[in-house]
Structure 1
Amino acid sequence: MDHIAAQIPFVRRYARALTGNQTTGDAYAVAVLEAMIADPATVPGPDEARKELFRMFHAIWQSSGAPVGDEERGIAARAQQHLATLQPLTREALLLSAMEDFSDEDIGYIMGIDADEAGALVVKGTADMADAVRGSVLIIEDEPIISMDLEQIVSDAGHRIFGVARTHDEAVKLGQDQKPDLILADIRLADESSGIDAVNDLLAAHGEIPVIFITAYPERLLTGDKPEPAFLVTKPFRAEHVLSSISQAMFFASTETLA
């Protein structure tokens, strides 16, 4: 059953995002396990465990009327407010795609609809997600051409440029008195200072802020032995990837950052 246990944290994450309530989300995860215990024939093999667990979750979820709670506070509560503006099936499809990285075919299987319908729901959810949030973006990037590209991408999407910094000190100074809605930060800066340190200083001053790190060296962050960023854009980047990351980070408002 190790392959089942390995997937439970992802089911719990998804359930919490969907319900807006840790206790309720965990209750749904327990209900999935109880269903498998009651009927051992439903226990999936290792290759299908992830998809089958989410499918079982959705069968229980839909039969219960898909309740949404309001337990969350602070930054997670804002994510729930955004999710509440979406149509019910759109919300599920968007989370399965954006948060859990399922394909349209898998989403259709999980939700009991065809792949085309699932894809349409994801497209609508993605568009609604982008429309739901606009804000100010602080760019921390030392390469002028890349900085200008990022400014263009951010502005074209309807966001405001909070400021552009090339070093740790410039970033901290820009964020000294006011708080950006999102930080887009390179890892290594012009004077060999750290974008990670700049971000952590800004978070210490202002509290939680969604963060996206941009780096040519993702392997230095994705080591598995320390906290990792939820949103990481690799250089050279595509505009669509940056835009998608900005929309998701602002919408879900729950980006983990490096300690």
Structure 2
Amino acid sequence: MTQGDLSQAIGSALPYLRRYARALTGSQTTGDNYAAATLEAILADRSSTAEASTPKVGLFRVFHGIWASTGAPVVDEASGALAKAQDRLATLTPNSREALLLHTIEEFSLSDVAEIMQIETDEAEQLVRLARQEMADAVSGRVLIIEDEAIIAMDLESIVADLGHRVTGVARTRDAAVALAREDVPDLVLADIQLADNSSGIDAVNDILTELGARPVIFITAFPERLLTGERPEPAFLISKPYSEDQVRSAVSQAMFFCSTETLKA
């Protein structure tokens, strides 16, 4: 692969590295700092990605080298959501959350996860299994679903309920979402971007957060590249349509567990 081809491949994969880094850290700023450090490392030593099976795997592998070398830190908070997240993180099997995100949200195969994390494939599989169990057992709560397609809404409701959470309601429009949130305040919001009356799921979420306070949010969209531009605040948790059940289960568990409060500003 020529230098130009490599740069193009890394550039195409970068928005997804940024998404992964935000979900991992719970912060856009911290996640982007890690992504920037990854690019700096590759520019300093382009051979760091040369032996990887693909440029995307190489990009994530360099990231993980930096992540591991810094001890996978989160912001030191004495109180609040991040403090609770730190307490929960301390109970997880090391590296399990990383493996789960790589495999489910970023859709790397288990062999790719193993290559990125520099472990054996069977260890990667075990870490994913442990993370699912440990995170599902850690937190349960109330979830508001904002989705205008009835079949998708029913599917999401079933997945969320199977995880042990209570669905507070399903809204098809911005106004309905805000009204439902007022009636039964959710711990987490799962939102589509484009709603039935051409209103915005982003606007609905921002209305809810402004009125009721910060809480974790997961956006679902058929066009993730429109949101992963780096030009404005972005969601820490973003699922692409068509989604898999595994992706939704992982994102809900991660968001509820880590309590990320970053979302889009319209």
Settle same-fold status: TM greater than 0.5.
Answer: yes
Output one character per residue of 1:14-53: Cα deviation in whole Å (capped at 9) or x when no partner: 49947x9x89x969x869968996xx69544397565456
Structure 2 match to 1:195: 201
Q: Given the alignment, which residue of 215, 239, 243 partners 1:232?
A: 239
- Superposed, 1:66-81 pairs within 5 Å as 66=71, 68=73, 71-72=76-77, 74-81=80-87
Once the 2 structures are TM-superposed, how far is the Cα of residue 134 of structure 1 from its aligned partner? 1.2
Over the matched positions of the two proteins, sequence identity in percent amounts to: 45
Aligned position for 2:146: 140
Greater mean alpha carbon deviation, residues 159-168 or residues 53-62? 53-62
Alignment RMSD: 4.5
2:116 matched to 1:113?
no
Name the residue aligned to 1:150: 156
Does residue 223 in structure 1 map to residue 226 in structure 2? Answer: yes
Q: Give the number of the structure with larger relative contact order, counting CA–CA contacts within 8 Å between residues 6 or more apart.
A: 2
Distance (whole Å) between structure 2 residues aligned to residue 188 and residue 34 of structure 1:
38
The alpha-carbon deviation at position 129 of structure 1 amounts to: 2.0
Q: Where does the alignment leave 5 or more consecutive residues of structure 1 unmatched?
A: none
TM-fit CA distance, 1:138: 0.8
Larger Rg, first or second structure (1 or 2)? 1
Match of 1:165 among 164, 171, 182: 171
For residue 188 of structure 1, report the CA deviation from its aligned partner: 3.9
- In structure 2, which of residues 179, 182, 186 is the aligned counterpart of residue 176 of structure 1? 182
Residue 41 to residue 198, structure 1, CA distance change in 2 (3 Å):
closer
| Contact 1:36/1:43 (<8 A) preserved | no
Hey, what's the Cα distance between the residues in 2 that align with 1:241 and 1:16? 13
| Counterpart residue type for residue 76 of structure 2 | E
8 A contact 2:110–2:124 mirrored in 1? yes
Please identify, of 2-11 and 177-186, the stretch whose mean Cα deviation from structure 2 is larger: 2-11
SS in 2 for 1:193: coil
Structure 1 residue matching 2:225: 3-state secondary structure: coil
